[in-house]
Structure 1
Amino acid sequence: MKVAIIPGNGAGDVFMANWYGWAHEKINRLPGVTADLRNMPDPITARENIWIPFMRDKMSCDESTIIIGHSSGAEAAMRFAEKYKVKGIILVSACVTDLGDENERESGYYNRPWEWDKIKTNTEFIVQFGSTDDPFIEWDEHQQVADGLQPEFHKFSDRGHFMNSVFPELINVVKSKLS
């Protein structure tokens, strides 16, 4: 089983950002699982036409992969699952619009409708984490993802944009999906 952690957009080493490196280490300790986390190409804009081929060709995301996407990485996970079969997607701080931000608009994820049915058809499971106090994404955006995908939904009121250094609930979900 493979797990690919797709970070949000930004700069710097993803192993030192948020919970990514911590989760990578924890998942790699699970029996029979390999986690992949990489500094993504085009890390600031996170363009779909760069990230999706990178996920497919360099990270080898396929039907045996669980993709964990955070923020822009969640949108990448959803767009990937529109095109390709994956084991499952775990979305953290997902949204459906560019939030009025030009950099987000340039990423290309938001220039067409979301194909919820294709995403659901191409995944065995979908899990979503969202927090009502997210400072970057209005709750309505989280809710639109939930309405479209009908995921296993983990709603919080005190996690902001999930930028903590640890994320134990994520590991618990990964473990539950592996059994």
Structure 2
Amino acid sequence: MARKAIIFHGTGGSPHVAWYPWLAARLAARGYAVEVPHYPTVNVEPIAEFLPKVLAAHTFDEQTVLIGHSGGAALLLALLEHVTVDQAVLVAGYCTPPNDEDEPVLQPAYDWRAIRSHVRDLYFINSRLDPYGCDEHQGRAMFDRLGGTQIVRDDGHFGDHDQAYDEFPLVDKLVD
């Protein structure tokens, strides 16, 4: 079975911004089949309506690695209630509203036991300097419920409209 990686962009993002194209090329060079889907309604459409579309659009198995950034990382929590994968890397992820904005990507509650049982290796990468509140406290809240590895940096939102972040060697190194 071939290894696969799916990289989910964040709210208002696209597959062509930040470090997503760089990471996709790096993983492809290592033999991964890489998908970087475009979901313009991530964190716009309510998760109860959005999640079935994502589940239907991809295949997930024990050889799959999920990588999500911001709203895409929050999406991974909902996905992991339903699919079993090898690894998940949540970059600037969150499990509760990180600020005063509406967050339709969040579920009212999560089945933390199911999520934990559906992923072998789990990483949370958050920044103390995240301008949207997707900070180390959000990472810690997920880590406390799920275990895994929490990595805390001082790197803003790890890519944004005003933060160039064209490469992300840390994520490349974490994916095995």
Give the shorter-chain TM-score range: 0.7 to 0.9
Query: CA–CA distance in 2 between the matches of 1:118 and 1:64?
Result: 18
User: What value does the CA root-mean-square deviation take over the aligned residues?
Assistant: 1.9
Deviations 1:1-28 (A, max 9, x none): 11000111105x421x111111111111
Q: Structure 1 vs Structure 2: percent identity of aligned residues? A: 24
Return 36-45 or 64-73, whichever deviates more.
36-45
* Deviation (angstroms), 1:47: 3.5
Residue matched to 2:94 = 95
Query: CA–CA distance in 2 between the matches of 1:74 and 1:24?
Result: 16
Check if 1:116 corresponds to 2:112: yes
Query: CA–CA distance in 2 between the matches of 1:108 and 1:166?
Result: 26
The list of structure 1 runs, each at least 4 consecutive aligned residues, that deviate by more than 4 angstroms after superposition, is: none
Return 67-76 or 142-151, whichever deviates more.
142-151
Check if 1:155 corresponds to 2:137: no
Change in 2 beyond 3 A, CA 1:87/1:101: same
Residue matched to 2:10 = 8
* Deviation (angstroms), 1:110: 3.5
Question: Structure 2 stretches of 5 or more lacking a match?
Answer: 160-164
Deviations 1:25-65 (A, max 9, x none): 1111112x111002114146154234423332223233321
Query: CA–CA distance in 1 between the matches of 2:150 and 2:101?
Result: 29
Residue matched to 2:20 = 20
Return 128-137 or 53-62, whichever deviates more.
53-62
Does structure 2 retain, via aligned residues, the 8 Å contact 1:55–1:61? no
Question: Structure 1 stretches of 5 or more lacking a match?
Answer: none
Check if 1:132 corresponds to 2:128: yes
* Deviation (angstroms), 1:153: 2.0
1:139-150 to 2 correspondences below 5 Å: 139-150=136-147
SS of residue in 1 equivalent to 2:52: helix
Equivalenced residues, count: 168
Deviations 1:114-138 (A, max 9, x none): 3222111011111111111111124
Query: CA–CA distance in 2 between the matches of 1:153 and 1:139?
Result: 8
Change in 2 beyond 3 A, CA 1:44/1:84: closer
Does structure 1 retain, via aligned residues, the 8 Å contact 2:136–2:152? no
